[in-house]
Amino acid sequence: MKSIIQIKNFNFFYGESQALHDVTLDFNENQISALIGPSGCGKTTLLRCINRMNDLIDDTRSEGNITIHEKNIYLAEVDPVEVRRKVGMVFQKPNPFPKTIWDNIVWGAKINGYTGNLEELVESTLTRTALWDEVKDKLHTNALFLSGGQQQRLCIARAIAIKPDVILMDEPTSALDPVATARIESLITELKKRYSIVIVTHNMQQAGRISDCTSFLLNGVVVEHGRTKEIFLNPKEKKTEEYISGEFG
Amino acid sequence: MADSTTNFSQKQASLEKKTRIGESLIHVVLFACALCSIFTTVGIVVILASQSALFFADPQVTLLGFFTSFEWQPSIGKFGILPLLNATLLTSFIAVVFATPFAILVAIFLSEFTKPRIKAIIKPILEVLAGIPSVVYGYFAVGTVTPVLQRVFGSDTVEFYNTASAGIVIGILILPILITMIDDSLTSVPNNLREASFGLGATRLQTSFGVVIPGSFSGIAAAFILGFSRAIGETMIVALAAGAGSALTWNPFRGAETMTGYIVRISGGDISYNSIDYNSIFAIGLVLFLATLGLNIISRRIVKKYQWNV
Ligand SMILES: Nc1ncnc2c1ncn2[C@@H]1O[C@H](COP(=O)(O)OP(=O)(O)OP(=O)(O)O)[C@@H](O)[C@H]1O
Ligand SMILES: [Mg+2]
């Protein structure tokens, strides 16, 4: 198992308030890593640090480093835009562009300098996200007319169309019903063959079902990190056990 | 027992209506203010309509001729609004075409590239720009823009009074309102779309032009239309810079009197009441009024209809 993302002694601040404390974590290639923890513990913050999305928020700063493929993405000479081309993101609320389905997929690829066959790209990404059969006859209608679950699969398709190494997902199913959730989960499991995935979830069953390893955060601190099975069956920390069994959070 | 009964009736008494004199007074005053503005509007419409009726009642004038004939020469009894309308549309069109791209760029800068603190400094400056009397703009057109145009294109091509100069300066005049409207509509694009775009590795510029601008297309269209309506009604600039005397021409370097320009010249001159010339300005005013009203309604409709539901 090869490690792809290493987070080392990472601190993160919104203005004066510190949201992440000395986080050290390792995520492996072609695995699904889950981030769990109660609301406000810093899961989203950590996720957004992995593609330097937090650079877009005013008055934030970080200490420590995160390496992806042995490259420190927090060096001064690193361009955050380039980082985001390698590390894609899927958000909590489906947010397709108010453009056609086709344009949603093609736009990101184009700005990333994709010069191949666009039809092939659209068909293959939509097929891999299990959306092709549902939308192949309406590629040129506005993506906002799709259902929530379809929109979220389109957002995943859009993210993989730029061929990232890593995909970050922030509670990708929290706005969806159980059926749509199941589809997305099987899609995510399918995607790990090609991508490394870090997923934030509030749903313990989901973390248990799909992830290979799990990190439990509390108040910006990593309490426990390990193989999902072990974390769920034999947590070493009392806090972890309490959280997983639903005693707080 | 008796105690609780008194208590209850006291409470009931406190629920009764009270007359609050201050409240009622303010109510009346505010209502009167509202009535005033309604009466003013109605008054304007009534006067425009009744004077226009006098104009159209004149045997020299027909409604059809007014809207279709190509000459406006009151002295020889020719009342075709087309040359004036054409000049108005020409100056207004030059104004919005000149101002909109510029306004879009400034609005992008304000909404996508500046921090709120800097924006808070720039916006009031724009509002000052909007407060400059338009007669000042008029002299700017005649004294600066026209000479520049003449130097660039040659003074044989560019007449001293011309619609290009007036149009450009009207464009400058409507810039602040265009910028404000477009900035509002860019700002209202939900942030999660920007994040989606940045998440795909887009730069700020790519996000602005690829996601934010298309996402606020309707707001930009509404601003364009409202700007056009402002430009149609603009008076001092065209009166000073676009020339007196109607001419049916699409050449922006020639002089041509606009509807508002004509109204100013006639109402400022020594034309007697109830002459046909005098009444004609009301007919033209009515057309202006209806045109601006229509454009404003369309612009508001667009903004309402395509608002982001966030
Ligand atoms: N833009 C921001 N500015 C200031 N503070 C923020 C910002 N975003 C998050 N925070 C703070 O950072 C802490 C961690 O927030 P974060 O959103 O990472 O939590 P989370 O674990 O994702 O919670 P949830 O499960 O509710 O999504 C919280 O205390 C939050 O108030
Ligand atoms: Mg979160």
Q: According to the model, what pLDDT value does residue B309 have?
A: 52
pLDDT higher than 80, residue B119: yes
What would the two tokens of residue A52 be?
A: 């330097």
pLDDT higher than 70, residue B308: no
With respect to residue A249, please indicate whether it lies within any of the assigned structural domains. Answer: no
Residue A81: closest C-alpha in chain B: B201
Write the pLDDT tens digit of every residue in B120-164.
999 889 888 888 999 999 999 999 999 999 999 998 999 999 999
Averaged pLDDT, B106-130:
90
Ligand 1 centre and the CA of A45: distance in Å? 6
With respect to residue A194, please indicate whether it lies within any of the assigned structural domains. Answer: yes
CATH number of the domain bearing residue A121: 3.40.50.300
With respect to residue A129, please indicate whether it lies within any of the assigned structural domains. Answer: yes
Model confidence at B12, pLDDT cuts 50, 70, 90, reads low
With respect to residue A164, please indicate whether it lies within any of the assigned structural domains. Answer: yes
Q: According to the model, what pLDDT value does residue B80 have?
A: 92
Ligand 1 centre and the CA of A41: distance in Å? 7
Q: Please tell me if residue B197 touches chain A, with a CB cutoff of 8 Å.
A: yes
- How many domains does the structure of chain A reveal? 1
Q: For residue B157, what is the enclosing H or E element?
A: none
Q: What is the DSSP string of chain A?
A: --EEEEEEEEEEEETTEEEEEEEEEEEETT-EEEEE-STTSSHHHHHHHHTTGGGGSTTEEEEEEEEETTEETTSTT--HHHHHHHEEEE-SS----SSBHHHHHHHHHHHTT--S-HHHHHHHHHHHTT-HHHHTT-TTSBGGGS-HHHHHHHHHHHHHTT--SEEEEESTTTTS-HHHHHHHHHHHHHHTTT-EEEEE-S-HHHHHHH-SEEEEEETTEEEEEEEHHHHHHS-SSHHHHHHHTTS--
B90 vs A2: which has the higher pLDDT: B90
pLDDT higher than 50, residue B22: yes
Whether A158 sits inside 8 A of B195 (CB atoms) is no
Averaged pLDDT of chain B: 89
Ligand 1 centre and the CA of B297: distance in Å? 43
Q: What is the pLDDT along chain A (249 residues), one digit of tens a residue?
A: 789 999 999 999 999 999 999 999 999 999 999 999 999 999 999 999 999 999 999 899 999 999 999 999 999 999 999 999 999 999 999 999 999 999 999 999 999 999 999 999 999 999 988 899 999 999 999 999 999 999 999 999 999 999 999 999 999 998 888 988 998 899 999 999 999 999 999 999 999 999 999 999 999 999 999 999 999 999 999 999 999 888 765
Averaged pLDDT, B235-245:
91
Taking residue B220's Cβ as centre, other Cβ atoms within 10 Å add up to 21
Whether A111 sits inside 8 A of B206 (CB atoms) is yes
Q: Which residues contact B117 (CB under 8 A, 6 or more apart)?
A: none
Q: Provide the residue range defining the domain that includes A10.
A: 3-244
pLDDT higher than 50, residue B225: yes
B159 vs B310: which has the higher pLDDT: B159
Whether B196 sits inside 8 A of A82 (CB atoms) is no
| Ligand nearest to C-alpha A42 | 1
Model confidence at B2, pLDDT cuts 50, 70, 90, reads very low
Taking residue B123's Cβ as centre, other Cβ atoms within 10 Å add up to 14
Whether B202 sits inside 8 A of A108 (CB atoms) is yes
Whole-prediction pTM: 0.85
Q: Indicate if ligand 1 lies below 6 Å from the C-beta of A43.
A: yes
Write the pLDDT tens digit of every residue in B26-63.
999 999 999 999 999 999 999 999 999 999 998 888 88
| Ligand nearest to C-alpha A202 | 1
Model confidence at B6, pLDDT cuts 50, 70, 90, reads low
Which of B193, B203, B206 has the CB atom closest to A97's CB atom? B193
Model confidence at B10, pLDDT cuts 50, 70, 90, reads low
